Amino acid sequence: MVVEKNSMVGKKGEEEEYVIVKRKTEVCYYVMKLAEYGELYSFIEHTDRFNEDMTRYILDQLVDGMRYLHSHGIVHRDIKPENLLINKKGRIIIADFSFATRMNEVESDELFQKRYDPFIERRTDVGSEIFNAPEIWDNEINLHELEEQMIKAQGEDKIFDYSEIDGKLRKLSVFPKYNGEKADVFSIGASLFMIQMKSPPFRKAVQTDPYFKRLCSVKKQNYWKIFKSLPHSDEFKDLMEKTLMKYPSQRYSLDQIRGSKFFDVSDDAAQSHHSQVYSPESFIEEIKKRFDIVESVKQNDLSNKTNHE
């Protein structure tokens, strides 16, 4: 994919910068508003760790954006710092909808608001290894979840019959659905971890991964010991544990993230975890400083490359 910058006249008659994405294959040229500071990932890669107030500022916007998408029936399926962009107003832009999909509409409620079924077709070829939820690969998790739901609905004595799932007889290994909204939450959690810790939380969310295994265990302190040299609050730890839960039904929803202690910046809470509300002005100022570093590293890389050619 080729990305070019260009100037054009915007809606208000002012000149605005746009980015033009060209695919080399036959179709598809599209024009989008330019996110001037580029990928959040570059800041993680080339500058210092973001502190917790900055992380909170980013998560606040990310949760708003994702709530908007989900409320319009769209799951993203590839949330990661490479696909989160920053514009000159310090807004976080959710980009790259190439794996996004629509949820099916279900009956509207009495306010005629549209509602969607979060259970979508399972595909294993979406997203990115570090950020994908475990149920993307492990169908046993989806079956466990369904079993739990059916037991809850019908009482524990009832013997579970797989033919009841989806009205058709399905083999255990091919049950085709998972909760797309909760999978997005997992990717948000993994991205947030990366933003604040400058390290991924694990290599892949499978039981054979030693990091994920520790995170799923009862004694989670063995997991956090690995990261003890990187400062983080108890509220951050708690939020990570809840957003990176193996089972989607136990995993936080977007609303629960919003209601978590990590977001509690009341005076009492602020005293316990020294949090501050980060203003857009201070965020932009910080990003500007870091952007100069990112640009100079990229420039250096480029000249090193040309010198070697």
Ligand X SMILES: Nc1ncnc2c1ncn2[C@@H]1O[C@H](COP(=O)(O)OP(=O)(O)O)[C@@H](O)[C@H]1O
Beta bridge partners of 30: 21
Nearest CB to ligand X, comparing residues 89 and 158: 89
- Least separation in angstroms between residue 284's CB and ligand X is 16
Encode 163-201 in three state secondary structure: HHHHHCCCCHHHCCEEEHHHHHHHHHHHHHHHHHHCCCC
Q: Is 98 in the site for ligand X (CB under 6 A)?
A: yes
Output the residue with the shortest Cβ distance to ligand X.
96
User: Of all helices (H) and strands (E), which one includes residue 206?
Assistant: none
Q: Which stretch binds ligand X (CB under 6 A): 35-43, 144-152, 164-172, 297-305?
A: 35-43
- The only residue of 36, 53, 96, 138 in contact with Mg ion, by rule CB under 5 A: 96
Q: Say which entry of ligand X, Mg ion, none residue 272 contacts (CB below 5 to 8 A, set by partner kind).
A: none
Rounded CA-CA distance 116/184 in Å is 15
* Contacts with ligand X, 50-89, as mask; x by CB under 6 A: --------------------------------xx-x----
- Least separation in angstroms between residue 86's CB and ligand X is 9
Task: List binders of Mg ion among 74-93 (CB under 5 A).
Answer: 83
Q: Is 129 in the site for Mg ion (CB under 5 A)?
A: no
Angle between helices 52-71 and 180-197 (to 10 degrees): 160
Q: Say which entry of ligand X, Mg ion, none residue 201 contacts (CB below 5 to 8 A, set by partner kind).
A: none
CA angle centred on 230, ends 229 and 234, rounded to 5°: 110
Q: What is the distance in angstroms between the CA of the first residue and the CA of the last residue of the chain? A: 23
Rounded CA-CA distance 66/82 in Å is 16
Q: Which residues are near ligand X by CB under 6 A?
A: 1, 3, 19, 32-35, 38-39, 82-83, 85, 95-96, 98
